[in-house]
Amino acid sequence: MENQHASVPTVLVVEDDDHIAQVLRFMLERQGYRVVHLADGRAASEHIASSPERPGLVLLDVMLPYVDGFELVGLARARADWAGVPILMLTAKNTERDTVRALDAGANDFVIKPFQPNELLARVRRFLKT
């Protein structure tokens, strides 16, 4: 039983909106993923810098208190063991400039809020290959 739990992909959710974070946790846990939630950029930057365990995927809000999502992508990409972790950014901003900035920062994909749950889960599955 322990080996099965160890093989469950972990999704790191960095989202400051409690409601959206709860929706994401519910959706992801129903799909069998383990969820670690951090509510601001400072906590996320500390986690990225010090966590011995790398997640299978990061769902990352762009606009966060203290440290924004763009900077967090850079921190994750600077860590050799996190360089290949898929990062899916979530944002309420719907401009080409923000999409390009997210992708240029090293994000693998970009989803506009409000997102469609099934579309978001399809993107998560694509990165986690489940």
pLDDT in tens, 85-109: 999 999 887 788 888 888 898 999 9
Average pLDDT over residues 76-81: 95
DSSP codes of every residue in 18-62: HHHHHHHHHHHHHTT-EEEEE-SHHHHHHHHHH-SS--SEEEEES
Of the candidates 88, 76, 96, the one whose C-alpha atom is nearest the C-alpha of residue 123 is: 88
pLDDT digits (tens, 9 = 90+) for 49-77: 999 999 999 999 999 999 999 999 999 99
Kindly report the pTM of this predicted structure. Answer: 0.92
Count the domains in the chain: 1
Average pLDDT, integer, range 6-23: 94
Read off the CATH number of the domain in which 39 is found. Answer: 3.40.50.2300
Residue range(s) defining the domain that contains residue 98: 2-128
Amino acid in position 41: G
What does the pLDDT read at residue 12? 98
